[in-house]
Amino acid sequence: MAEKTGKILAVDDNEDILFSLKLLLKKYVETIHTEINPHRIPDLMAKEDYDVILLDMNFTKDAISGKEGFDWLQKILEIDPDAVVLFITAYGDTEKAVQAIKAGAVDFILKPWQNEKILATISSAVQLRRSRKETDTLKQKQKGFSAAIDQPFQDFIGVSPGMLDVFSTIRKVAKTDASMLILGENGTGKEVVARALHRESMRADEIFVSVDLGAIAETLFESELFGHEKGAFTDAKGEKPGRFEIASGGTLFLDEIGNLSLPLQAKLLTVIERREVTRVGANKARPFDIRLICATNASIYELVAEGKFRQDLLYRINTVEIHLPPLRERIEDISLLAEHFLKSNVKKYRKNIKGISPAGLRKLEQYSWPGNIRELQHAIERAVIMGDGNRLEADDFILSSPRKVDEFELENYNLDEVEHKIINRVMQRHKGNVSHAAAELGLTRTSLYRRLEKYGL
């Protein structure tokens, strides 16, 4: 304890013990309060936010059962469930230590103590208190963010067949704890789907933790996901819980899981299978309880076939899969999304723009959207900022290419070839659903079947 840190309350019926504690700790901690009467604990806790409470197990003369200490431990935890309590007793044994930990104490100190040992124990307890407070702060922030910006299905709308399938899957699996794998190109809204799954789940009141695995260096992977102990490495100046611990009770979203190297995949698989995590620099494993959702824009099955992604890990993370269609396959959703983004940006930038012209919408619908929904959102925002009229025109949208991806060059005008290409692309867009494809083509199912047979599709 090189610098003074932590606010300590020591409660013991022996004034000599309290004097010794104060004399020892005042050099190392910010505050050390001592109290001989345990009945003053509630008042003291109301006036000060203590990092650690040192609590005697017996306050009645000749008492050795520890019952008084356990009773006061329960009262302390009722006042502050995150309180860090260290029991102090002259009659310690293994059985009482186990009972104390099970009852909610953090550790057990025997009288007479060794100065170095008690200082190390208190230092660790102070760090634990700080970690608990950081986690509580994060959870409170998460609740606030969820209430403010994570409204049900925000930026997650559509009427296209592909999106209706996505909505249906979410409703079916959200209430379960099944591991989910979300597949889709960049910008298709994978995290939005993950948040929708969390919001509709039984864990909705708990924390949602999102981790971009593609942004974490390999050297920091274990520290970030599994946590570390103080001194585990050069910059580990305090103990830190990993994302698995922080997310416990709620949902952990691992984005871009396809980017992990094989060694990191093996470590992740072990943690998922055992449902416990060991911090870097620690020997003791810590259990966690999460709903796991993963996502990737990679062709995950091709990676498995190439030996670049572990098949056993894939089995663990994809109890149910959700495939997000790219925006170019959701033409009928573009106008809905554009109007949605327009409303939010008009409000944000206080502009008097009433809508998008037919020519403007047509330009949006004819663009290929390689950046998907994210690119559309940015295009609308930019147009709102730069627009001068009361509605957005085609010229307000600066797109990299006006060519629609589904269009093809008519090198000849053979009607059979044209029809073959159109039917093939529509069937691909609807993933082989004949009813949906026939409806878009303006054909009956029977007519479409005849053409499919004619062209060998």
Domains within the chain, CATH numbers bracketed: 7-130 (3.40.50.2300), 150-323 (3.40.50.300), 327-396 (1.10.8.60), 415-454 (1.10.10.60)
**Residues in Cβ contact with 26 at an 8 Å cutoff, skipping those fewer than 6 apart:** 32
Confidence (pLDDT) at 148:
38
Strand, helix or coil for residue 363: helix
Strand, helix or coil for residue 430: coil
What is the rounded CA–CA span in Å between residue 392 and residue 384? 8
Structure-block tokens of residue 92: 């310690």
Q: Which residue has the tokens 């025109």?
A: 393
Confidence (pLDDT) at 442:
73
Residue in 367, 301, 285, 292 with CA at minimum distance from that of residue 334? 367
The DSSP code for 240 is E
Confidence (pLDDT) at 136:
65
Helices (H), 80-160: 94-103, 115-149
Confidence (pLDDT) at 2:
55
**Residues in Cβ contact with 274 at an 8 Å cutoff, skipping those fewer than 6 apart:** 285
What is the rounded CA–CA span in Å between residue 84 and residue 77? 9
Contact 264, 224 (CB under 8 A): no
Question: In the chain, which residues have pLDDT < 70?
Answer: 1-2, 60-66, 91-94, 97, 136-155, 401-416
Residue in 71, 14, 94 with CA at minimum distance from that of residue 85? 71
Which residues make beta-bridge pairs with 11?
A: 35, 55
What is the rounded CA–CA span in Å between residue 238 and residue 232? 9
